[in-house]
Structure 1
Amino acid sequence: MKSLFIILFTLFYSTIHTLASKQEANSLLKWKASLINQHNPLLSSWSLHPAYNLTDTNRITATAPCTWYGVHCNRHSDVIKLNLSNSKLDGTLQKFTFSSLTNLTHLDLKQNNISGPIPVEIQYFTKLVFLDLSRNLLSGKIPQEIGNMNKLIIIRLAHNLLMGPVPGSLGNLSRLETLDVHENVLSGVVPQELGKLEFLTRLSLSHNELTGRIPVSVGNLTKLELLYLNDNRFNNSIPEELGNLKSLVSMLLLVNGLTGPIPDSVGKLRNLEQFVLHDNELPGYFPESVTNCKRLRYLTLGNNSLTGPVPESVCKLRSLEILDLGTNRFTGPIPQCVSHFSPKLQVLDLRLNRFNGSIPATFLKQNNDLRRINMNGNQLKGFIPRSLINCRNLEVLDLGNNILTGGFPHWIDTVPKMQVLVLRGNKLNGPLHASNTKSPFPKLRILDLSSNGFMGRLPVNYFKNFKEMMSGNRSASGDLYMGRHFMYNDRLKLVVKGLHLELQRISVINMIINLSANKFQGEIPDTIGQLTSLRSLNLSHNRLIGEIPTQMRNLTLLESLDLSSNKMTGKIPLQLTSLTSLAVVNFSHNQFHGAIPKGGQFNTFGNDSYQGNSGLCGFPLITGCGDEDRSSSPTLEEDEDSSFFKGLSWESVVMGYGFGMFIGSGIGWVMLYFGSPKWVVRITERKQVRHQRKPRKDHGIARQANHRAWGSQVFDANSFI
């Protein structure tokens, strides 16, 4: 009897699960049919075999949804996981029958093209612990009903188009460890209820439109390791209670409107590695308590309103990799220890402050990983320290707009990875003597020595060795920008195409030489034509003489050329019209003469490009060139005519004229006597018809030329931005 009961129970249990399995299969097939690309090859296994029925359990096992792509079942054939991430799904969740998959614990649909709202029926997934709908096109609000799914541990809804507030009901999810909704359009204030999530380790609300204060209740999340609130519209001060987050490793509050001093309680965060506050409105002094965070790797306080001196205690942060204090109001001398306090330091950004005194003198040879040094826009004096030669990994050195003196630091050309050297706006002087380095500056992309007192001839030896400017348009890694870092972007102030620009990042195709406003003499060397990747060349406001080298026609990527305010002579080479990328030129205030070249981009430049050259003539100047203008750029027809008549004497012309008169008179007498012969009329009519049907190729060429001239004015805006 007992055996019979077991058999009956087994059959009943098997039948119930078979019914449930078929219901789950039909639900999934219904959703598949609603997809725009329901014939997605990845879902080809999603189908019911014709033999699928309720009596043949062997067939059921072979064809149940548990064997389908992305579907995982437990030992009872219940669907418990659905992993269709990056499966090219295109559709919505509106036909998804949530109530038929009540045993589901994991739902992963990230990185597809699922659009529309998140249905409130998602609350029927009462056993769900993992929900990932990130990197889709979901819109609408986050349903309050998600707060009823009290077994959820991980919620990821990032990179969608979700709008509205962050639901306060999420505070009911007592088991939640990860809440990631970054890169949406969420607005309003952050609900205080989130402070009840005592097991939360990751909270990412970044890149939204959230406003108001950072909730004080966030200080209750004592297990929190990552706090990402950056790129929102938070205002008011940073809560003192954040100092309670003893487990915190990373705090990103950058790009908000935060005000008020940085709380001293930050010094309690002994596990903190990333403290990123740049681009806010923070006043006050350097937060000295932060120097107690000995594990700190990234400290970025740039672009705030911090004042006062930077304390020597900053050098206690021996694990620091990035120190960004740029664009503040710090005063006093730079602590001498910052040049060697951390063997891991890669970025030292002190630009646009009010630091005075000298540049720290001791950059050590060993344990030196510095790659970026930016002290632009301070009041630093004295010589450039020779110990910078020990920074063998240095890629960017910007000491521009200070009061530095002395000669050009020629020894810096031995630094093998140097890509950007900016010394503009100082009081440096003397000639640019190259060192004995075999290949100086092989990686250099940007050289700006403008507004100094350098003299002598242009540095031919450097021009011959700028290998990157000869062939480089992409970095070896394929990156579009230099030194891209999650926490830091290079920023440079340059004069490009006559405009003062602050570059927020540096494109790898930026190849710039600016030696303007110095006292360079002599001629422009022919070797300048070898720098075929050059985008901008500014040699203005010097004492250069001689003619423009015709080799500059090889600079096919050149977008900006400024030779103004020199003493250069000769004609502007016609070959420069082949530079189709040229957007800005300035030849003004020299001693050029002759006709201004026509064609290409030269048809787009205005008077300002040529003023102050009394010997120049032709478009766009009012002064015409007469015969000289015509002869300087002869047309094709003129060339053909001149070659045809070349060598004919006046006797030949007279003989031809007389013979023509005789033949013409004879034909006229015949036509008058016999009437118009039909063969003559037929030939004449055929020529007229052919002439009428002949396409006007000259107009088409003109239109194409105009199109090319206009189109060549459009240059890549990303070249310098």
Structure 2
Amino acid sequence: MGLLFVLLTISIFSSPSVTTSSSSKPEAEALLKWKTSFINQNNPLISSWSSLIHQNTTTAPCTWYGVRCDDGLNVKQLNLSSSRLNGTLNYFMFSSFTSLTHLDLKTNDISGGIPPEITYLSKLLFLDLSGNHFSGTIPPEIGLLTSLETLRLNQNQFSGSIPASLGNLTKLVYLRADDNKLSGYIPQEMGKLVNLVNVNISFNFQKGPIPATLGTLTNLSTLYLYQNNLSGPIPPSLGNLTSLTILSVYMNELSGRIPDDLGKMKSLIVLMIGHNKFTGSIPASLSNLAKLEILDVHENLLSGFIPPQLEKLDSLIELSFSHNEFSGQIPASLGNLSKLEQLYLNDNLLTGFIPEELGNMNSLVEIYVVENRLQGQIPYSIGNLTNLEIFVLHDNQFSGFFPETISHCEKLRYLTLSNNSVMGPVPQSVCNLKSLQILDLGNNRFSGVLPQCLGNFSSNLQVLDLRLNGFRGNIPATFDQNNDLRSLNLNSNRLQGSVPWDLIKCRKLEVLDLGNNMLTGTFPHWVDTLPELQVLVLRGNKLKGTLDNSNNKTPFPKMRILDLSSNEFSGNLPKNYFKNFKAMMGVNGDSSGPLYMGRNSSMSMYQDKLVLVVKGSRRELERILVVYTTMDLSVNKFQGKIPDTIGRLSSLRFLNLSHNSLTGGIPIHLRDLRMLESLDLSSNKMVGKIPLELRTLTFLSVVNFSQNQFQGSIPEGGQFNTFGNNSYEGNMGLCGFPLTKSCGDDEVSSSPIPIEDDDDDDDSGFFNGFTWEAVALGYGFGSVIGLGIGWLMFHYGRPRWVIMIVERERFRQERKAIKTPQVEVSATSRAFRRKKLSQVSDVNFTMSF
């Protein structure tokens, strides 16, 4: 009886109303099993996915987060997008979801591959796996999901080829596989997907031709194939896609001519075929695309004239023909494109004038006609473009006067006209452009007095570039407080007077270039308080006074380029400045930041330009590397010694203190300028020896110690073995290589270099195992000198100093061979090569101008 009671009790409490039958709820169990595989099982969004023992088994899992069921309580949809799921599909039991029609897992952290078991989802209509970390190949089993209408695999890391089995998905309407690592060819079988409306396979590594079979997809509305490695021509069959609204194939390797058949695509709104290798002319048939709003063929090899028939495209908003080889004139008929907002014609071979009719394009916002051969006067009708914001005309042959009607373009933000021949005064009306951020009129023939209104122009102005003109008078002294001026370049004009104190209001100023004018007065010490100043150029003026009396405790915290040469500055060198040039000490270096100055601002379309004398040559920098550091105080009247504090500037690359009246010796602390490439101390009154420690400056390619009173032996080894006689001339007390005067001898030796005694062996390591490869390595660090010497060797024969190196090394090795076994000489040679190759591999960056 007792046993029977126990069995009865168990039977009662085992009722199906409180337990779960594994056969009745397989979908719920499958979801729970999948959940246990997640890295973040405690995800609050799926907290409703819990044990069925505490839930109503009739409705579970239909009431769970993201789960939708049909009338028979079978799971029909899993909508789990942006649900913070972190796991794989390896533990997803596809066989438990035979009624599933909709699987949305986009924007999660799911990784791994797509299991072949996905074929169990035979009723699937919608599959979205985008925005995850899926990898591996797209399994061919996907081609068995023949009911699929939407397939989104974009923004993952899928690789390999697109499977040809996708051609079986004849009901497919939307296909996205963009932004992956897919390679191989686009399968011809895609031509079977006759219901396709949208296709996007961009941002991959697809190669080969565009399949001609795509021309059968007459329902296609958008076709995105951009940024791949596709090659060959555009198949003319694409002209059959009369429903296509967007065709984007830019940034591929496509070639051949643009087919006339594209003119049949009457529904086309966007045609982007730029950044390929198309040749020939623009087919006139494109003028049939009446709905076209964007026509972009930039950066190809297209030539011929711009078709005047394009005036028929009265819906056009953007026209980009830049970076091609178009010639002839800008068609006046383009003036009929009244809806056009962007016109890009830069970097072509266009000639003639800007037609007056362009003034009818009153919707224009941007005009780029940079780097052509356009000439004549800028038309007055430009003033009709009241919506114009960007007007970029630099590097042409424009002449005549600048139209005063430009003041009507009140929305104008960028105006660049540099490198032309425009003349006359800057019209006063320019100051009415209150929205202007960039005004670049450099390298023209402007003249007259600078309008004082340029000082209080507007708080929006960030760049004022008027260099290389004929302006005269004083620099404006009417700058607004809290202005946004970042770059002021007035180099190479005829400006007079002093540097206006009013510039102290420009607290965001990074570049101040007033060089090559006729400025007078003393050094503007207040300028060292500008917290963002990186470039200060005052060279070629008549400024005077001392620099070493600044009271600022932290002057020039971001200074990178200081050029005060060719003035009348006197007194001692500014040791206080040397102590505080933190940007020259390497403490502000940031490898993750912008490479060029100005790239971290809204002025990315403007590059700061600078003219400097570097390594004895005049160099015009079209843009300034942020790591470019130079100090030029040459051709002044500085006196006294070079302060030891200069050794703190460990990131300094070019140092010129020549043509002053400096005395004392070369500071040993110069050895700490480990990035130094050029050092010029010539034409001073300096004395003493050239420190041996300078041999450690492995980037040094140019030195000039000439016209001083140095004495003693010239250091040997390192870069010093690449410098010629002209680096030392005018120092009667110097001796040793490369001079013909031997140390310890008062006369010039015309015989081969004698064998030196054993005491000199300490410095002979550089030449152990000497080869021309070693000379080449030395030139590698001093490319300018190396190339120059190489040219001289071939043009005039072997230079005498090179012959001296070889002869000296030969005598040393012969003597070494007497007292050292040959195996040791070979070991030394191998060690030398390893050391030099190691030095070369350690070089991350070398400036060689």
- The bucket for the TM-score relative to the shorter chain is 0.7 to 0.9
* Alignment RMSD: 2.9
Taking the TM superposition and a 5 Å limit, the aligned residue runs for 1:609-628 are 609-626=727-744
Closer/same/farther in 2, CA of residues 454 and 434 from structure 1, 3 Å limit: same
Q: How high is the TM-score relative to the length of structure 1?
A: 0.81
The 3 A distance-change label for structure 1 pair 434 and 61 is: farther
What is the percentage of aligned positions where both structures have the same residue? 55
User: For 1:353-502, what aligned pairs fall within 5 Å after superposition?
Assistant: 353-366=469-482, 368-471=483-586, 474=589, 478-484=593-599, 485-502=603-620
Give the superposition deviation at 1:129: 0.4
Q: Secondary structure at the match of 2:203?
A: coil
**Which string of whole-angstrom CA distances, capped at 9 and with x for unpartnered residues, describes residues 458-497 of structure 1?**
0000000000100157458611110134432111110011
Return closer, same or farther for 1:131/1:702 CA change in 2, 3 Å cut-off.
Answer: same
* Residues 507, 720 of structure 1: 8 Å contact kept: no
**Aligned match of 1:676:** none
Alignment match, 1:514:
632
Q: How does 1:467-616 map to 2 (within 5 A)?
A: 467-471=582-586, 474=589, 478-484=593-599, 485-616=603-734
CA distance in 2, matches of 1:381, 1:544: 29
The Cα of 1:131 is off from its aligned counterpart by 0.7
Distance 2:402 2:167 in 1: 69
| Counterpart residue identity of residue 760, structure 2 | P
**Structure 1 range deviating more: 313-322 or 434-443:** 434-443
In structure 2, do the counterparts of structure 1 residues 694 and 581 end up closer, same or farther at CA, with 3 Å as the change threshold? closer
Are the counterparts in 1 of residues 716 and 763 from structure 2 also a CA contact under 8 Å? no
**Cα deviation 1:160-212 (Å, max 9, x = unaligned):** 12222122211110000001111222111111111110000000111111111
Counterpart for residue 44 of structure 1: 138
Q: 1:232 to 1:47 in 2, by over 3 A?
A: farther
The structure 1 residue matched to 2:281, chosen from 165, 169, 188, is 165
Alignment of 1:237-252 (within 5 A): 237-252=353-368
Q: What is the CA deviation profile of residues 678-716 of structure 1, one whole-angstrom value per residue up to 9, with x for unaligned ones? A: xxxxxxxxxxxx97877821333455577789x699996
SS at the partner of 1:373?
A: strand
Deviation at 1:638, TM superposition (A): 9.6
Do the aligned partners of residues 272 and 693 (structure 1) sit closer, same or farther apart at CA in structure 2, a change above 3 Å counting?
A: closer
Instruction: Report if the CA contact (8 A) 2:548-2:573 is conserved.
Output: no
Task: Specify whether residues 298 and 331 from structure 1 end up closer, same or farther in structure 2 by C-alpha distance, changes over 3 A only.
Answer: same
Contact 2:572/2:639, CA 8 A, preserved across alignment? yes
**Are 1:216 and 2:332 matched, yes or no?**
yes
Which secondary structure state, in structure 2, belongs to the residue aligned with residue 186 of structure 1? strand
* Alpha carbons of structure 1 residues 483 and 694: separation in structure 2 relative to 1, 3 Å: closer
Paired AA for residue 456 in structure 1: G
Whole-angstrom distance in 2 between the partners of 1:355 and 1:638: 59
- The aligned amino acid for 1:596 is I
Q: Give the match for residue 403 of structure 2.
A: 287
CA distance in 2, matches of 1:404, 1:632: 60
The one-letter code of the counterpart of 2:584 is M
What residue identity is the alignment partner of 1:521?
Q
Structure with more contact order per residue of length (Cα contacts < 8 Å, sep ≥ 6): 1
Matched, 1:698 2:805: no
In the TM superposition, residue 70 of structure 1 has moved relative to its aligned partner by: 3.4
When residues 549 and 49 of structure 1 are mapped into structure 2, their CA distance, relative to the original with a 3 A threshold, is: same
* 1:382 shift after superposition: 0.4
Matched, 1:199 2:315: yes
Tell me: CA distance 1:620–1:248, structure 2 relative to 1, closer, same or farther (3 Å): same
- Taking the aligned partners of 1:708 and 1:160, their CA distance within structure 2 comes to 41
Structure 2 CA distance for aligned equivalents of residues 284 and 351 of structure 1:
18
CA distance in 1: counterparts of 2:373 and 2:764, whole angstroms: 68
CA-to-aligned-CA distance 1:513-552 (integer Å, 9 cap, x gap) = 0000000001111111110000100000000111111111
Residues 186-335 of structure 1: pairs in structure 2 closer than 5 A: 186-335=302-451
**Letter of the 1:302 counterpart:** S
What is the CA–CA distance in structure 1 between the aligned matches of 2:480 and 2:684, rounded to whole Å? 42
Residue deviations 1:248-267 (CA, integer Å, cap 9, x gap) = 01111111110011111101
Q: Which amino acid aligns with 2:520?
A: T
- CA-CA distance at 1:141 after TM superposition: 1.6
The one-letter code matched in structure 1 to 2:138 is S
CA contact (8 A) 2:174 2:197 kept: no
> Partner amino acid for 1:589?
Q
What one-letter code is carried by the residue in structure 2 that aligns with 1:87? N
User: Counterpart amino acid of 2:270?
Assistant: I
In the alignment, residue 177 of structure 2 is paired with which amino acid? G
Q: How does 1:661-680 map to 2 (within 5 A)?
A: none
Structure-1 separation of matches of 2:507 and 2:204: 46
**2:259 alignment counterpart:** 143
2:100 corresponds to: none
Determine the C-alpha separation between the residues in 1 that align with 2:758 and 2:323: 59
Question: Which of 177, 185, 194 is the equivalent residue of 1:70?
Answer: 177
What is the rounded CA distance, in whole Å, between the counterparts of 2:136 and 2:308 in structure 1?
43
Does the aligned pair in 2 maintain the 1:581–1:715 contact within 8 Å?
A: no
| Partner residue of 1:85 out of 202, 210, 218 | 202
Q: Is the 8 A contact 1:298 1:322 kept in 2?
A: yes
SS of residue paired to 2:698? coil
C-alpha separation in 2, matches of 1:517 and 1:53: 83
Which moves more between the two structures, 607-616 or 82-91? 82-91
Q: Is the 8 A contact 1:580 1:712 kept in 2?
A: no
Aligned pairs, how many?
A: 621
CA distance in 1, matches of 2:286, 2:167: 40
165-174 vs 448-457, which moves further? 165-174
